[in-house]
Structure 1
Amino acid sequence: MSSPQTAQVRVDASAWQGELAHSWNYIGYDEINYTTTPEGEELLAKFMAMQEKPYFVRPHHLFCTGNGHGIPKWGSTNAYLEDDDGTPIYDWTIVDQVFDTMLKYRCKPFVELGFMPQDLADPAHYDIGADAWSAQQYRATGWAAPPKDYQKWYDLVHALVQHCQQRYGENEIATWYWELWNEPDIFYWRGTPEEFNKLYDYTAAAVRAASPSARVGGPATTNPGPSSRAAAYLEGFLEHCANGRNAYTGGTGAPLDFISFHVKGGGYRADPRHRKQNPPSVKQVLRDTANGYAIISKYPQFQGLECILSEIDPDGWAAGGAHDNANLNFRNTEYYASFTAAAFDKVSRFAKQNGWDLRLLTWAFLFVGERCFEGTRVFSTQGIDKAIMNLFRMYAQIGTQQVAFESSAAKNPLDYADMNGRGEKPDIAGFAALSGSKRLDVLVYNHHDDWDMRGEYTVELEVAGLPFAGKSVTVTHQRIDAEHSNAYAEWVRQGRPNYPAPGQRAAIKARDGLELLEAPRTVEATSSTLRLSFTLPVHGISLLTLTAAE
């Protein structure tokens, strides 16, 4: 009998379960202008270096008015202005720089069509006459207003898509996503749901008119929790696209090539007293994803469409950090990686069980000029990669032929009595995949929502059905935990410097890559079953790669 601190994990490499959808190749961030900074290009180059397929990049503020300089939670391109007579002036200079940079690093734009240009904002929501100098009111509310003229909005979207078609080619932009807006069910949209649906009608018509093969969709609403405004908004949007009167064509319904909504595991706001709050909840992420699926399933005409969780994260407020609220320090640590591994695994399993084409977008990038390990939701801080970046390095190595994976310590968060599994043991689970007949990858994570939980578990791994029985097998074991693939631990050892001195930085940077738990070793697969044992701490992730000798 296994001890309470042991997990029995069994992988059957002969039990194929179809393709493992590498659906995690999506990232996003508020500050569109960070894309073209040296720091932004450095990070995109890292994604290019590890990608097995292009990453899609979704920034906010594509149409916003300003000085073209990114700051936390804000960006601008001046793509749309009007002359004194109200004639539109299109300027694609910054937009081109952003898209060119994405493509330079073999990424692809996930084009978020928003927000409202200053000169196009509805005066009922925003008075440009009182704001021509400071633009403070525009940044407060004007960007979220409906357009004063829906035809001018149509013309703007059409002009952008047409410009991209001419610059990059129809075949290229047909691979992009064209998504309207972001989170219209909250403060990102100052109009009514009906006005948003009208905006979608004009947007979809403009995209399709400029590029018939382009993919257009939305509505990028927030967590569709049970009986929530977000759930009602998502359903109202789908009902409109299915059966509503189209405000542009006068016909019934609107084109919809993909559906998007967001799920977060919790939320934090500034708290100078730094009181401990509830941790993020994998259960909430899974529950709201399942509820979104239930809403979509009411519309048979939308079955089979891609659905993108165009933000799936432990929490909201990416620009907030540990100095704003000490709870956000979890983003610096291995916890962020283990939460993401658990959440992605649970929603991906749900999607596979339901034959649902689900894609996952991590809302994280970087912040220029921040203090080291600020605690913002980023992959890299001052050019030093966090543990979360190393999870994506693990993902990029994994094969595509999924095989059976079972764990005696796996949990279903929907069974938890509360939102965080208090009183439950940690969830030890994962997945496995083959690459041809000579390599097997097994990812095992150990997660509990309580970021203060400690402990170490023994994982007894049995791999059956090996396609390379009778051969020597090299076992490579990569690990993310408090001491591996985790530059934060070294930053703490170096005294937590806000701006590390050159020697400190070198020591911290040396630990920011994906690290081995032990040196690779060779074992003999004398039969089709191989047994391995290792310890895995809470909030740890192991990637074991078994490679047959030539």
Structure 2
Amino acid sequence: MVKKIDVPASGKPFKNNANYCVGTGRMGLALQQEYVEHLKLVQETLHFRYIRGHGLFCDDMGIYREYGMDGKTSTFYNFTYLDRVIDTYLENNIRPFLELGFMPEKLKTGEQTIFYWKGNVTPPSSYEKWAELIINTLNHLIDRYGREEVITWPIEVWNEPNIQFWAGTMEEYFKLYEYSAKAVKSVDERIQVGGPAICGIDTERWLRSFFEFCIEKNMPLDFITRHCYTANEPTNRGHYIYHTMMEPTRMIDELKETRKIMADYPQIANMPLHITEFNSSYVPLCPVHDTVFNAAYVARILSEAGEYADSYSYWTFSDVFEEMDVPKSVFHGGFGLVALNSIKKPTFYTFEFFSKAGNEMLYRDDNLIVTKGDDRYVIIGWNWHDMRDGKTAPDKDYVLTIPSIGKQAILIKKEVGGSHANPMQTWSNMGKPRTLNKEQLKILKASAEPLQTDSKLFEQNGIYEVEVKIPCNYLCMLEIIPVKDETETYLGYDPNEFYGLK
């Protein structure tokens, strides 16, 4: 069934925050060469403003140290690696969205850890020393990068304290937040700080309790953070963890729910809401992350999330990531937009397409958005379906009538799906090699590019008519750009002599 849409000449602002922030693994990964290569690749096209990850205070970053001499213990703050990491970020035109965590070995109160790299998740042995760690770190950053720069870096207190990322109680997290937020503001009142950085478990109780604590204690609080994942319960099978997915609108519903809870507190209601992690699956061993399905699925989220959230940080930009051990092959279900060996995954293009969207939204439904910028239209379409049911979803067919912005235009279409921008399928066709030789890598990089086609578009009675077909598990972007036809300036031009040129 073809859906006919008369696109209006004007619309409303498109609240598009897709490129505000992106996730990384722990901060120490930025010391690896391939990580830096991936960051450069992403920033050349996607231009994320902020990057947020774990492990600022973990021992692999080496910041907090204690030394004994003559019966006395002295604290030493070592910023050697932190400087390298932040330098790398800034060199690639991205700023840190700092997460305060996890616990340094010398401040821990227990042995509970998370991940392959064993981030300690226990409360500090001294909240005063924890606060001093924050103060000294921020003062160092100001000394090195300048106060006016550092005050633009948001700070989030801890990560998902409502599950196993925090070994303490809710009340102990609130105490950690109090010491942390006050420490931040003691350095400079203008630095923005927030929390509670929860995931979608026991959400309402945690949010209300946190809000009420901050209001009652008059705590510094500049923004609210939480995480959103849309996977059902996992099934473990050897090297993989499999999920079925909820509808992508589940995340939109969670954002609405969060805003509704915030609205009950006048002091909180209008604060920024930052989703500091989101994805389909919440584990880095789920094949969904590497698929064209995921590209189309995430597009539905990006089309509407900005109505409710000030940012939504895709977890993560790179498969240089070690939460569940070192990756076992180029495609292993990792979170990243970029696979190992700098191969772009399908969802990379979801963010590229939305980075090109116009700032005015003219039309939107569950499979299509039409936007307008200063000099062009940008249309993005998607059609996701979990094909494990043995079926394919029908194509989504549209005929759009769009007010013209010039007598003649070029219509450029990029498609992700099928055999285009689907390198995992090519890797499978190769026999799923664990490591790649140079020829295989060249083939895979070529297979990771979208199909691009173009055609001439002429106005008829002040409109363009555009047909859009979106097959199952495809993502597409159409750009309509006015052109000036200079054919008449070519003396002797005869189209019949150009062997089929149109």
Q: State TM-score, norm by structure 2.
A: 0.88
Residue number in structure 2 paired with 1:112 = 99
1:340 CA displacement: 0.8
State how far apart, in whole Å, the 2-side matches of 1:43 and 1:275 are: 25
Contact persistence 2:19–2:355 (CA under 8 A) = no
Contact persistence 2:11–2:361 (CA under 8 A) = yes
3-state SS, counterpart of residue 466 of structure 2: strand
Contact persistence 1:146–1:191 (CA under 8 A) = yes
1:524 CA displacement: 0.8
Determine whether 1:279 maps to 2:227: no
State how far apart, in whole Å, the 2-side matches of 1:276 and 1:102 are: 33
Determine whether 1:462 maps to 2:439: no
Counting aligned pairs with the same residue, the percent is: 22
State how far apart, in whole Å, the 2-side matches of 1:334 and 1:534 are: 18
Residue number in structure 2 paired with 1:237 = 210
1:95 CA displacement: 1.1
Alignment of 1:31-110 (within 5 A): 31-51=26-46, 53-65=47-59, 76-84=60-68, 85-110=72-97
State how far apart, in whole Å, the 2-side matches of 1:264 and 1:48 are: 24
Contact persistence 2:56–2:101 (CA under 8 A) = yes
State how far apart, in whole Å, the 2-side matches of 1:317 and 1:183 are: 15
Alignment of 1:193-212 (within 5 A): 193-212=170-189
1:488 CA displacement: 1.8
Contact persistence 2:194–2:224 (CA under 8 A) = yes
1:304 to 254, 270, 275: 270
Contact persistence 2:51–2:95 (CA under 8 A) = yes
Q: 1:178 to 1:375 in 2, by over 3 A?
A: same
Contact persistence 1:31–1:61 (CA under 8 A) = yes
State how far apart, in whole Å, the 2-side matches of 1:372 and 1:9 are: 42
Alignment RMSD, CA only? 2.4
Report the residue type matching 1:50 in the other structure. Answer: T
Residue number in structure 1 paired with 2:478 = 544
Contact persistence 1:118–1:138 (CA under 8 A) = no
Q: 1:143 to 1:205 in 2, by over 3 A?
A: same
Contact persistence 2:161–2:196 (CA under 8 A) = yes
Q: How many residues align?
A: 472
Contact persistence 1:197–1:240 (CA under 8 A) = yes
State how far apart, in whole Å, the 1-side matches of 2:54 and 2:419 are: 35
Report the residue type matching 2:84 in the other structure. Answer: Q
3-state SS, counterpart of residue 390 of structure 1: helix
Question: Any idea what the Cα deviations from partners look like across 1:507-547, whole Å, max 9, x if unmatched?
Answer: 1111223431x2x1112113332212232112211100000
Residue number in structure 1 paired with 2:493 = none
Q: 1:89 to 1:451 in 2, by over 3 A?
A: farther
State how far apart, in whole Å, the 2-side matches of 1:305 and 1:451 are: 41
Contact persistence 2:58–2:119 (CA under 8 A) = no
Q: 1:277 to 1:50 in 2, by over 3 A?
A: closer
Residue number in structure 1 paired with 2:347 = 388
3-state SS, counterpart of residue 185 of structure 1: coil
Report the residue type matching 1:359 in the other structure. Answer: S
State how far apart, in whole Å, the 1-side matches of 2:268 and 2:459 are: 47
Q: 1:231 to 1:433 in 2, by over 3 A?
A: same
Residue number in structure 1 paired with 2:225 = 260
Alignment of 1:175-214 (within 5 A): 175-214=152-191
Alignment of 1:290-369 (within 5 A): 290-318=256-284, 321=285, 328-348=286-306, 351=307, 356-364=308-316, 365-367=318-320
1:281 CA displacement: 3.5
Residue number in structure 2 paired with 1:379 = 337
State how far apart, in whole Å, the 2-side matches of 1:64 and 1:481 are: 40
Residue number in structure 2 paired with 1:505 = 441
1:292 CA displacement: 1.5
Contact persistence 1:64–1:143 (CA under 8 A) = yes
Moved more, 332-341 or 494-503: 494-503
Question: Any idea what the Cα deviations from partners look like across 1:301-332, whole Å, max 9, x if unmatched?
Answer: 123221111111102122xx2xxxxxx22222
3-state SS, counterpart of residue 301 of structure 1: coil
